[in-house]
Amino acid sequence: MAGSAVAWPRVYEERGLLSWLTTVDHKRIGILYILGAGFFALIGGLEALLIRTQLAVPNNRVLVGEAYNQVLTMHGTTMIFLVVMPVLAGLGNYVVPLMIGARDMAYPRLNAFGVWMFLLGGLFLNLSFLLGGAPDAGWFGYAPLTAKTFSKGTGIDFWILGLQLLGISSITSSINFVSTILLLRAPGLTLNRLPLFAWTTLVTAFLILFAMPSISAALFLLFLDRHLGTHFFNPAAGGDPLLWQHLFWFFGHPEVYIMILPAMGIVSEVLPVFSRKPIFGYTAVAYSSVAIGFIGFTVWAHHMFAVGLPPVVNAFFSAASMLVAVPTAIKVFNWIATIWGGAVRYRTPFLFAAAFVALFVIGGLSGLFLAAVPVDWQVTDTYFVVAHFHYTLFGGSMFAIVAGIYYWFPKITGRFLDERLGRLHFALQFIGFNLTFFPMHFLGLSGMPRRVYTYAPGLGWEGLNLLATVGAFILALGFVVFFVNIARSLVAGERAPDDPWDGHTLEWLTSSPPPPYNFARIPVIHSRRPAWDRKYTGNPHPHPVIEAAEGNDRVGEVETSEEPIHLPSPSLWPLILAAGLTVFALGLVTHWIFIPVGLLLFALGLVRWVQQPLFPEAHGTSS
Catalytic residues: 75, 104, 139, 169-170, 253, 255, 257, 268, 302-303, 328, 331, 450
Q: Does 319 bind another protein (CB under 8 A)?
A: yes
Helices (H), 372-418: 373-379, 383-392, 399-413
Closest CB to another protein among 13 and 550?
Answer: 13
Nearest distance, CB of residue 348 and another protein, angstroms: 8
Other residues' Cβ atoms within 10 Å of the Cβ of residue 547: 10
Stretch 97-126: interaction string toward another protein, x if CB under 8 A: ----xxxx-xxx------------------
- Give the span between the Cα atoms of 558 and 561, in whole angstroms: 10
Residues 142-201, interacting with another protein (CB under 8 A): 142, 144-145, 150, 171, 174-175, 178-179, 182-191
Question: 67 CB contacts (<8 Å, ≥6 apart)?
Answer: none
Check residue 488 for interaction with another protein (CB under 8 A): no
Cis upstream peptide for 144 (omega within 30°): yes
| Binding of residue 347 to another protein (CB under 8 A) | yes
Q: Is 74 in the site for another protein (CB under 8 A)?
A: no
Q: Is 426 in the site for another protein (CB under 8 A)?
A: yes
Nearer to another protein, 145 or 484 (CB): 145
Site pattern 452..471 for another protein (x: CB under 8 A): xxxxx-xxxx-xx--x----
φ/ψ of residue 475, rounded to 5: -60, -45
95: contact with another protein by CB under 8 A:
no
Taking the complex as a whole, how short is the minimal distance between the CB of residue 241 and another protein, in angstroms? 6
Cβ 75 to another protein shortest distance, Å = 13
CA distance 320 to 342: 35
The residues in 214-273 that bind another protein, with binding defined as CB under 8 A, are 214, 216-218, 220-221, 224-225, 228-232, 234-243, 247, 250
Residue 363: CB atoms within 10 Å: 21
Q: What is the DSSP letter of 468?
A: H
Q: Cβ(334)–Cβ(279) under 8 Å?
A: yes
Q: Which is nearer to another protein, 16 or 564 (CB)?
A: 564
Which is closer to another protein, CB of 222 or CB of 601? 222
Residue from the set 394, 430, 482, 519 that interacts with another protein by CB under 8 A = 430
| Footprint on residues 561-590 left by another protein (CB under 8 A) | 561, 563, 565-568
d(CA 610, CA 534): 43
Cα–Cα distance for residue pair 80/590, rounded to 1 Å: 25
CA distance 331 to 333: 5
Quote the least distance from Cβ 336 to another protein, whole Å: 5
Residues numbered 1 to 60 that lie near another protein (CB under 8 A) are none
Quickly list H helices, 493-555. 530-536
Provide the minimum distance between the beta carbon of 276 and another protein in the complex, in angstroms, as a whole number.
6
Q: Which is nearer to another protein, 19 or 179 (CB)?
A: 179
The CA distance from 586 to 604, in Å, is 18
Residue 35 or 372: the one with the smaller Cβ distance to another protein is 372
Rounded CA gap, 529 and 520, in Å? Answer: 20
**Residue number with CB closer to another protein (37 or 194):** 194
Residue 623 one-letter amino acid: S
* Separation CA 380–CA 370 (nearest Å): 7
